[in-house]
Amino acid sequence: MLLTASARVFAVVVTYLPDGALLRALLDALLGQTAGVLVVDNTPAADTRVQALCAAWPQQTLRLIRLGDNFGIARALNVGIEAALGAGATHVLLSDQDSLPAPNMVAALLSALDDLKRAGRSVGAVGPTYTDRHTGITFPFQTAVPGKFFYGHRKPDATHPYIEALTLITSGTLVPEAVLREVGLMRDDFFIDNVDIEWSHRVRSAGHKLFGVGAAAMFHRMGDQALRVWYFGWRQESAYDPARVYYRIRNYVALCRQPFISWRWKLRSGWNVLGVVYTQTVFGQQRQKALRMALRGLWDGLRGRMGPLKI
C-alpha cells in the first residue's frame, strides 16, 4: 500500500513519574513500529528516572525532551507534535506512558487509514481498540447509532472493521500531519483530562472523521487502580485521585461552553460525569476530598478558571 510504504510515523510519549518497567515495554514496542520516538517528560527536574531509562537507546531513534516540571499532558503533547513535524513526520502517533500497543498496531492503523482514504473518507485520525489493564474491559467506541437520540457504543467486528467514532482517546491515536497543521494542536489550558475529547470534536467540526480500528489493539491503564462499585449490580470501575476528579468535572464544564460540540453529546456525557462523582465519592478511598474537588472543579469550570490546579 502506497500510504503505508511512504509513511514516516513518529510517536510522541508523554511521561510523568512513570513506572520504569511499563515505560520500557512501551518504548520497545513503539521503536519497533515507528521511525522514531519523542519522549516529552513532565517529571520534575530533580527526578532523573526517565533520563536514565532513555539513555539505553540511541538518540537517533529516541529523543528525550525534558520540560523540568509538570506542565500537563496537553502542553507536552504539543511540544512533542511540533518536534515530530519538524523531523519530517507524515503521521504522529500519540501515547500515554502506561499503554502497551500490540506488535502490529501502527501497521494496522496505517492500513485502515489507507483503506478509508481510498473509500473517499476525509480522515482526521484513527485509533485502536483498547483494553483496560485494571479491569480487563475492552471498551467500545462512542458513535452515532441509528434510532438512538443520544450517542451509543459499538465495537468493531468482521462486518464493521472500522467504527466512525465521535471521539478517540489520546493514547494510540494516529494523526496525519496535514490534519494537525489544519486543525491545530491541543488546548494546553485543559492541562489534563478531556484534552483528547476537545480535540476530537474540533477535528470533526472541521469536516473530518474519526475511526476506531478493530485490527489495531492496545492495552491501556484507565485511572489509578480498579474500584469495586455498585451500579445496578457490583462492577469494576477505575479509581481516580481527587485531583483527577477536579479536572474531569472542570474540563467537562469547559467542553459544554464550546459551540462546535453537539448539545446531545454534552447532555449524554453529563451522565458519565455524574457517574464519576458517584463512584469516587461513594466508593473511593478519599471520598470527602473527591467531593470537595468535584465541587471546586464545577465552580472553576463555571467561572472559566483553567490551567493547572492551584492548591
pLDDT in tens, 83-134: 999 999 999 999 999 999 999 999 999 999 999 999 999 999 999 999 987 7
Please choose, from the candidates 15, 12, 9, 176, the residue with its C-alpha nearest in 3D space to the C-alpha of residue 80.
Answer: 12
The CA angle 194-200-204, to the nearest 5 degrees, is: 150
Residue pair 238/222 in contact by the 8 Å Cβ criterion: yes
Tell me the CA distances in angstroms from 57 to 32, 36, 62, 232, 305, one per residue in order.
Answer: 12, 11, 6, 49, 41
Is residue 104 left, alpha or beta, with left meaning phi > 0 and alpha meaning psi from -120 to 50?
Answer: alpha
Is residue 47 left, alpha or beta, with left meaning phi > 0 and alpha meaning psi from -120 to 50?
Answer: beta
Say whether domain 2-220 belongs to CATH 3.50.30.10: no
pLDDT in tens, 275-291: 999 999 999 899 999 99
pLDDT in tens, 242-279: 999 999 999 999 999 999 999 999 999 999 999 999 99
What single letter denotes the amino acid at residue 154? Answer: R
Residue pair 124/210 in contact by the 8 Å Cβ criterion: yes
Q: What are the structural domain ranges in the chain?
A: 2-220, 225-303
* pTM for the structure as a whole: 0.93
The SS3 of residue 1 is: coil
Residue 185 grid cell: 494542536
The CA angle 227-232-237, to the nearest 5 degrees, is: 20
